[in-house]
Structure 1
Amino acid sequence: MGARPGKRSVARSSSKCQELEQPPAMPDAGRSPRWRAGVALVGVVLLAINMRAALAAVGPLVPDIRAALDLSRGTVSLLTALPVLCFGLLSTGIAAAGQRIGAERTLLLAMLGIAAGSLLRFLPHVSWLLAGTVVAGTAITAANVLLPGVVKYHFPRGSATVTGVYTAALVGGAAAASGASAPLAHGAHLGWRGALLVMAVPALVAAVVWLPQVRRAHRLPPAGRVRVINNPVTWALAVYMGMQSVLYYAVLTWLPAYLRDFDIPATSAGVALGVFNLIGVVGSLAAPPIAVRLPNQVPMVIATCTLWGSALAGLYFAPGYYLAWAVVAGVAQGACISIALTLILLRARTPEVAGSLSGAVQSIGYLIAALGPLVVGALRDLTNGWTVPFAFLGFATLLVAASAPLAAGRRQVG
């Protein structure tokens, strides 16, 4: 008879089995070569540039699109609302895809999806325009959901700083797209379809630069979805994300049209929208480093709401100073989105929970956010004026402030 294994060998065998069953430990970004971390950072920035560009390019082209296709304000609103609806409806499924095939691979497919959506929008029929918008919106959803977890995975010691950098890139990409779309359509004689097609170029560049990360792709193990959803902090974060996005997407869609109603030239209205997006870089870079140093982030949320309220009041009562109000609103929106993404990281205990929390918050929040362009457009049509739409945006600002105690407090999820 063979000798029976001793207790020590049994324990050693059991320990090995447990190690095989456990998910692989996440690497410490500090131990990776600097060039690899640098390439990853460049890739994150290029991904972020594409996360709003395809949407921001639409606003200055709304008059051209309406005239060419004879669309109502409600239908034009869909060009912004449909991607935001994708953010809300598909966020949970995107998080699951990242867990199955890897976050990095999913992000590569997202960049290719943005390019494909831009190509579809070039085709000559309104159905292709809407189909391309949905494809691009689905792709942007993947970046929205997965990038916070990827940042925490690759940069665990500097996630807040990297969040500020990629949020600045996100806002900068939107600024460049909104500022360039009208000159591309008219100055370069590409037309509105050609201007939208150009948005495929930065997406393809980002896909190429992101390829090295695909070789190091990791799969996030599924986090406790019920635990995340049942946490009141999750819902507070969703309200914060949703209502600040209502403000952003409503202004992104309707600011040029609002200014045109005051006989402000189309080029000047486009400049105002570009300023609104570009100045957001300031807020998005400044907010995260401040946020992580505070015991809680409630004062920052209240400060950004004050800026939003001032900008909305200024645009309504003194539209002649629209560039000044665009600057104030730009700082507010840049700070709000970077705070929202930073709060997801600060409230999540682990990278796995960050991915799950990001999916839940963005799924709920962007379903709320889709109301922004649609409601403002509908209220404008129903009342034939801007008083009620601005009152709606003022109410949205108050709801952002109301979410602060839970969303920006000290409680964590996971």
Structure 2
Amino acid sequence: MSTSPMVLEPAVAVAPAVRGRARGTFLVLAAMLLVALNLRTSITSVGSLLTEVRDGLQLSGLMAGVVTTMPTIAFAVFGAFTPVLVRRFAAPRVLIGAMAALVIGQALRVATGSAMVFVITGALALSGIAIGNVLMPMLVKQHFPERTGLITGMYSVSMSIGATIGAAATVPIAHAFGSWRAGLGVWAILALAAIPLWLPAALRRRSAAPVPAVPGAKITARVRPGATRLGWAMAIFFGAQSLSGYATMGWLPTLFRDAGFSPENAGVLLGVLSVVGVPMGLIMPSLAARLRRLHGLILVLASLMIVAYLGMMLAPRAGAYLWVVVLSVGQSAFPLALTVLGLRARTPEGTVALSAFAQSIGYLFAALGPLLVGYFYGLTGTWTVPMLFLAAVAVLQATAGLAIARPRFVEDEQG
């Protein structure tokens, strides 16, 4: 009795296709993680060498203040234009343009002796980061709609690793080459490395019509989150958690130094905040994606932040490490927010619109954090009012968070 070879042919034909899809998925994920690695290095590297940059370029106090507040302003301004770019060009092409802006901006700013040119080229670099910030949730929705939590967690951790590397390695690199310019300029190479991985996708012709990422989704010509309650709730939630994050990153070492810690130990405490945040960046998105309703999770995170702020106000020295760990867990509201951006839109187009709106409004709000904490601290000379202010922001975060906690979609709320 003979066996027909026809039975085996489909398996032989399908295997290469399956392997090809798996290889393509892996390359997309690798490309996304490499982009994410670049989304904070340019910022933390400048912070590490700010004194040297001020001396080298003779920056005034005002210009130094512009340099430190520019990231949040740039994220707000340039991120708002990302949906317009995505409507005109394929997302991979936009991302290549963003990484090119990051490469050119970082390279040019270390080649100038002008403070103004340094600021302008820095803004160019930040424009690339802002576009990348907005595009990442869309890319997750587009390529990994069934694994939103896992992939968001992975790129969130990649961002944290990039931030840590930028902060830790910049000064040693600058010392090794004898110049702060080398310490900042080296990160242009990392951004350049992200471009080739996106070239194959950028060279492919764009599909004729967008495909819904959620079954039953309606394709709309334009998604306007600013006309929806969900869009504004998302923006306030994102802004509140970002305000707290930037304020604590800027002022926590000063608080602990005032409590009697040495500058080195105050820096270690800030490092603990970052280190604890890395695993939370992976855990929180996966947890959020599995839960149908997020009310309890949002309230727990806000409560932890409030406990930490009150603890740092009342016992900053005795419980320093405990408060930092508690605060870091509470501030995992950031990867939670990134995850919710993808969960509250039906389509990639809706995701990029919601991401752009929430991040633009949110980062404008966040820019006030370091300024207001510094103002309250200078006005009172103590940390009581600044910590109460941040606790109040955590309450606002929880209130806005409850409005985005149940399943709903931004496309459905448009009139």
Q: In structure 2, do the counterparts of structure 1 residues 252 and 202 end up closer, same or farther at CA, with 3 Å as the change threshold?
A: farther
Q: 1:390 aligns with which of 387, 392, 396?
A: 387
- Contact 1:51-1:144 at 8 Å conserved across structures: yes
Task: State how 1:184-223 maps to structure 2 within 5 Å.
Answer: 184-185=173-174, 188=176, 190-216=178-204, 218=206, 223=220
Matched, 1:54 2:52: no
Q: 1:158 aligns with which of 137, 147, 159?
A: 147
- Contact 1:182-1:267 at 8 Å conserved across structures: no
Deviation, 1:61, is 3.6
Deviation, 1:62, is 4.2
Deviation, 1:381, is 4.2
Q: In structure 2, do the counterparts of structure 1 residues 258 and 183 end up closer, same or farther at CA, with 3 Å as the change threshold?
A: farther
Deviation, 1:116, is 2.3
Q: 1:181 aligns with which of 155, 164, 170?
A: 170
Task: State how 1:41-80 maps to structure 2 within 5 Å.
Answer: 41-65=29-53, 69=58, 71-72=60-61, 75-80=63-68
Partner of 1:82: 70
- Contact 1:43-1:209 at 8 Å conserved across structures: yes
One-letter amino acid of the structure 2 residue matched with residue 113 of structure 1:
A
Cα distance in 2 for residues equivalent to 1:129 and 1:260: 31
- Contact 2:373-2:386 at 8 Å conserved across structures: yes
Q: In structure 2, do the counterparts of structure 1 residues 58 and 217 end up closer, same or farther at CA, with 3 Å as the change threshold?
A: farther
Q: Which runs of no fewer than 5 residues in structure 1 stay unpaired?
A: 1-28
Partner of 2:325: 327
Matched, 1:408 2:405: yes
Mean Cα deviation higher: 30-39 or 156-165: 30-39
Q: 1:311 aligns with which of 300, 308, 318?
A: 308
Cα distance in 1 for residues equivalent to 2:264 and 2:284: 31
**What is the DSSP-based 3-state SS (H/G/I as helix, E as strand, rest coil) of the residue aligned with 2:81?**
helix
- Contact 1:234-1:361 at 8 Å conserved across structures: yes
Q: In structure 2, do the counterparts of structure 1 residues 260 and 303 end up closer, same or farther at CA, with 3 Å as the change threshold?
A: same
Mean Cα deviation higher: 255-264 or 344-353: 255-264
Mean Cα deviation higher: 235-244 or 110-119: 110-119
| 1:53-96 deviation digits (Å, cap 9, x = unpaired) | 22223334445555664643x65443342121122122231221
Q: Which runs of no fewer than 5 residues in structure 2 stay unpaired?
A: 1-16, 211-218
| 1:133-165 deviation digits (Å, cap 9, x = unpaired) | 311221111111111111211122222211111
* TM-score where L is the length of structure 1: 0.82
Q: 1:281 aligns with which of 252, 256, 278?
A: 278
* TM-score where L is the length of structure 2: 0.82
Mean Cα deviation higher: 116-125 or 145-154: 116-125
Partner of 2:116: 127
Q: In structure 2, do the counterparts of structure 1 residues 274 and 218 end up closer, same or farther at CA, with 3 Å as the change threshold?
A: farther
Q: In structure 2, do the counterparts of structure 1 residues 205 and 161 end up closer, same or farther at CA, with 3 Å as the change threshold?
A: same
**What is the DSSP-based 3-state SS (H/G/I as helix, E as strand, rest coil) of the residue aligned with 2:39?**
helix
CA RMSD of aligned residues (A): 2.8
One-letter amino acid of the structure 1 residue matched with residue 105 of structure 2:
G
One-letter amino acid of the structure 1 residue matched with residue 125 of structure 2:
A
Q: In structure 2, do the counterparts of structure 1 residues 324 and 410 end up closer, same or farther at CA, with 3 Å as the change threshold?
A: same
Q: In structure 2, do the counterparts of structure 1 residues 129 and 384 end up closer, same or farther at CA, with 3 Å as the change threshold?
A: farther
Q: In structure 2, do the counterparts of structure 1 residues 300 and 71 end up closer, same or farther at CA, with 3 Å as the change threshold?
A: farther
Partner of 2:348: 351
One-letter amino acid of the structure 1 residue matched with residue 76 of structure 2:
G
- Identity over aligned pairs, percent: 35
Cα distance in 1 for residues equivalent to 2:172 and 2:361: 36
- The number of residues matched between the two structures is 383
Cα distance in 2 for residues equivalent to 1:348 and 1:314: 37
- Contact 2:223-2:349 at 8 Å conserved across structures: no
- Contact 2:149-2:287 at 8 Å conserved across structures: no
One-letter amino acid of the structure 1 residue matched with residue 245 of structure 2:
Y
Mean Cα deviation higher: 205-214 or 138-147: 205-214
Deviation, 1:43, is 0.6
Partner of 2:233: 236
Deviation, 1:47, is 0.7
